[in-house]
Chain A
Amino acid sequence: MTHPHATTPSHVAHGQSYRAVRLTVRRYLLMPIGALIALIWANTAPESYFRFAHGLSFFVNEIAMAFVFALLGQEVFEATMPGGALHSWRKWTLPLVAAAGGIAGSAATYLGYIQSQYQPGLASGWPIATAVDVVLAFYLLRAFMPGSGALPFALLLAIVTNIFGMVVVAPQYLVLETRMGGVALAIGALFAAWFLRIRKVHTFWPYLLICGTAMWVAFYWEGWHPAFALVPLVPFLPHEARTLDVFADPRDDDAVHHEEHEWHLAVQPIVFLFALVNAGVILRAYDTPTWGVLLASLVGRPLGVLMAVGLGVAAGLHLPRRIGWRELIVIAFATASGFSIALFFAAGMIATGPVLAAAKIGVIASACGALVALAAAAALKVGRFAS
């Protein structure tokens, strides 16, 4: 008779599978997995892929992604609260300068390339090239430069950049028609959220169902991208200050963390679906926007970041502790890829067609900025590679 605690091969395999699934979920790996499946599907059975993607795109991009942006907003807000890892205003100044440099560098590179190809009609796509995949950057730097000042610096750079991008992209949402009354409804939703807050309602659901629905409709009516609709409600939600593990699933140790924990799990299938619906492109659709986005991400942005920081330091600002120029170069490449955020911007502001497809290829290819960051860290002996 077998001992009940014996470790059989099937138990070991089961345990390994469970750990793999947990790692996949906790590290947001479902997004690159979804993207890979989408690419394979689009390039082997394109007609079935695009029928599937178009059928699901509104639900995923306009409705479900609202929860993802709300969660990201929640985590960033909590990290910047008193006691949070990103609270001190002193930490913001140089990343703000770096973000401005990155935006200017990527936009200028993209626009310059487009102009050199005599295709000025593509100019409006420049915000795509400015986006930063904050989750990718976070996990990259946590892997090679743990415990250094790189993480908060990169997070702040990414947050500022993406807020700028959202403000630019939101009103460019492709909608058939707009309606009156959205602003009034939005104000009503904010008032209702404020009321719930002062009544100390500590559960998320009334905020999401009542205020969130009203705000979503308001955004849609006004022609603003509805995926950002829940973000204005974030300051009213119940919060606790976050440590540096910004995108980690919080410990399920109180009511607020319990709901955030459930929210974390709920967005995982959403990010998988987002990648599945948006990352599928036929690879030979590469064209001018592909190179524009790629150059802007891998050359323009890092150069812009480094030049801006150089100017900031020359003007008297200080680099964070334990961050020198070698570390900054790695940070510049780790924040080069826009991937998920850039895909989202592209899908929201460029209509279906070859221009969108070409831009998406550039966005997906820009994820190789991660490899460049890794190579830079190794070559410059930074973080884990320091001798």
Chain B
Amino acid sequence: MRRLPSVVVLLVVVAASLLAAQQAAPLPTRPESLKFAVIGDTGTGAPPQFDVGSRMAEARRTFPFEMVIMLGDNIYGSQTPQDFVMKFQRPYAPLLTAGVVFYATLGNHDAPANRFYPGFNMGGHRYYTYTRKDVQFFVLDSNAMDPQQLAWLDNALKQSITPWKICYFHHPLYSNGGRHGSEVELRVVLEPLFVKYGVSVVYSGHDHIYERIKPQKGIPYFVNGSSGALRAGDTRPSAMTAAYFDRDQVFSLAEIDGDDLFFQAISRTGRTVDSGVIHRQTAPQTR
């Protein structure tokens, strides 16, 4: 047998290593860390949503996340009890059976009464907060930012003593999605509070793409609105885009340990489309 040129062998080995590195979980999976998944605009009940649910269950075998944050539009179309079965309980059945807890926010397609659905763990509230380990999550109703909600958020952020403060809601303050884009009016109202109280990360959906936004006034933003619905090719990347993917459905995994948030965005087919680490700022930007 003729020997392959050594250069070719070397190239094959390098390529295989790169591919393996891409497929390998960039999450350290440390024992004491907080692990969670992120999904948005899920509630289609269509096969891609089921595919994402299966992929999440598969990921959980090596990355045992305990909770999932849902970024709104959790149920599309009719909102009967049967729709909750088809568009939520069945796609995520393995996770629900394993005791994974879902914490939802309401999107523009969600009926207001969905906040009472037990599986979303909203406690009947449009906006609420909860804490896991070193992380306090602030869940907002971005459909209508009324004075009471703003006052509640101001007070809740002021009272928070956790190192990590994560806000999530449906409509993105920063987005390069072609259909909707940034909710600038909401940004004018919310961003000053986020900056004032040192919010660590913000997650939103609404645009049916995945996009990671470079830190804006020190805060990184994620648009994760393609876990069920998808608008292929809808992203108009700009100078504020750090990464994006809009060719397939995506869900994200996140792990917070100490001052680091490790993230990994995974497509419906299991490909890692984005990953990295966010180092928490140790003090709020302004008071």
Cβ contacts B160-189/A at 8 Å (1 or 0 each): 000000000001000000011101111111
Known: A47-B184, A50-B184, A54-B189. A354 touches B109 (CB 8 A): no
Residue A288 is within 8 A (CB to CB) of chain B in the complex: yes
- Cβ–Cβ < 8 Å partners of B186 in chain A: 352-354
Known: A119-B109, A284-B181. A351 touches B146 (CB 8 A): yes
- Cβ–Cβ < 8 Å partners of B188 in chain A: 47, 50-51, 54
CA distance A285 to B185 in the complex (A): 11
Residue A356 is within 8 A (CB to CB) of chain B in the complex: yes
Q: CB distance B189 to A118 under 8 Å? A: no
Residue A174 is within 8 A (CB to CB) of chain B in the complex: yes
Interface residue range, chain A: 20 to 34
Known: A119-B108, A284-B181. A355 touches B77 (CB 8 A): no
Q: Which residue in B77, B110, B151, B171 is a CB contact (below 8 Å) of A354?
A: B171
Q: Which residue in B77, B144, B180 is a CB contact (below 8 Å) of A352?
A: B144
- Cβ–Cβ < 8 Å partners of A357 in chain B: 185
CA distance A266 to B226 in the complex (A): 52
Residue A120 is within 8 A (CB to CB) of chain B in the complex: yes
CA distance A175 to B108 in the complex (A): 23
CA distance A351 to B77 in the complex (A): 24
Task: Tell me how far the C-beta of B78 lies from the nearest C-beta in chain A, rounded to whole angstroms.
Answer: 6
Q: Scan residues 351-369 of chain A and give those whose CB is less than 8 A from a CB of chain B.
A: 351-357
Q: CB distance B144 to A353 under 8 Å? A: yes
Residue B79 is within 8 A (CB to CB) of chain A in the complex: yes
- Cβ–Cβ < 8 Å partners of A287 in chain B: 108
Q: CB distance B148 to A352 under 8 Å? A: no
Q: CB distance A176 to B183 under 8 Å? A: no
Known: A50-B185, A284-B181. A350 touches B144 (CB 8 A): yes
Task: Tell me how far the C-beta of A113 lies from the nearest C-beta in chain B, rounded to whole angstroms.
Answer: 15
User: What is the chain A residue whose CB lies nearest that of B183?
Assistant: A354
Q: CB distance B189 to A352 under 8 Å? A: yes
Q: Scan residues 272-296 of chain A and give those whose CB is less than 8 A from a CB of chain B.
A: 282, 284-285, 287-288
Known: A50-B184, A51-B188. A175 touches B111 (CB 8 A): no
CA distance A118 to B80 in the complex (A): 10
Most chain B CB within a 10 A radius of its CB, from A120, A288, A352, A355: A352
Residue B81 is within 8 A (CB to CB) of chain A in the complex: no
Residue A320 is within 8 A (CB to CB) of chain B in the complex: no
User: What is the chain B residue whose CB lies nearest that of A49?
Assistant: B184
CA distance A51 to B171 in the complex (A): 19
Interface residue range, chain B: 20 to 34
Task: Tell me how far the C-beta of B174 lies from the nearest C-beta in chain A, rounded to whole angstroms.
Answer: 11
Q: Which residue in A118, A174, A284 is a CB contact (below 8 Å) of B180?
A: A284
Q: Which residue in A46, A119, A176 is a CB contact (below 8 Å) of B184?
A: A46
Cβ contacts A38-51/B at 8 Å (1 or 0 each): 00000000110011
Residue A121 is within 8 A (CB to CB) of chain B in the complex: yes
Task: Tell me how far the C-beta of A334 lies from the nearest C-beta in chain B, rounded to whole angstroms.
Answer: 32
CA distance A213 to B78 in the complex (A): 49
Known: A50-B185, A50-B188, A118-B109. A351 touches B145 (CB 8 A): yes
Q: CB distance A284 to B144 under 8 Å? A: no
- Cβ–Cβ < 8 Å partners of B143 in chain A: 121, 353-355
Known: A47-B187, A284-B180. A118 touches B171 (CB 8 A): no
Task: Tell me how far the C-beta of B146 lies from the nearest C-beta in chain A, rounded to whole angstroms.
Answer: 4
User: What is the chain B residue whose CB lies nearest that of A287?
Assistant: B108
Residue B136 is within 8 A (CB to CB) of chain A in the complex: no
CA distance A54 to B77 in the complex (A): 34
User: What is the chain A residue whose CB lies nearest that of B184?
Assistant: A46
Task: Tell me how far the C-beta of A51 lies from the nearest C-beta in chain B, rounded to whole angstroms.
Answer: 6
Residue B142 is within 8 A (CB to CB) of chain A in the complex: yes
Cβ contacts A320-333/B at 8 Å (1 or 0 each): 00000000000000
Q: CB distance A354 to B184 under 8 Å? A: no
Q: Scan residues 156-200 of chain A and give those whose CB is less than 8 A from a CB of chain B.
A: 174-176
Residue B112 is within 8 A (CB to CB) of chain A in the complex: yes
Q: Scan residues 9-62 of chain B and give those whose CB is less than 8 A from a CB of chain A.
A: none
Most chain B CB within a 10 A radius of its CB, from A50, A175, A351, A355: A351
Query: What 19 additional pairs, Cβ within 8 angstroms, besides A46-B185, A356-B144?
Result: A46-B184, A47-B184, A50-B185, A50-B187, A50-B188, A51-B188, A54-B185, A118-B76, A118-B109, A119-B108, A121-B112, A174-B147, A176-B148, A176-B151, A282-B181, A354-B108, A354-B143, A354-B183, A354-B186
Q: List 22 A-B contacts (CB under 8 A).
A: A47-B187, A50-B185, A54-B185, A54-B189, A118-B77, A120-B112, A176-B147, A282-B181, A282-B185, A284-B180, A284-B181, A285-B180, A351-B144, A351-B146, A352-B185, A352-B186, A352-B189, A353-B145, A353-B185, A354-B143, A354-B186, A355-B143
The 5 A-B pairs of least Cβ separation, nearest first, read A351-B146, A351-B144, A46-B184, A50-B188, A176-B147
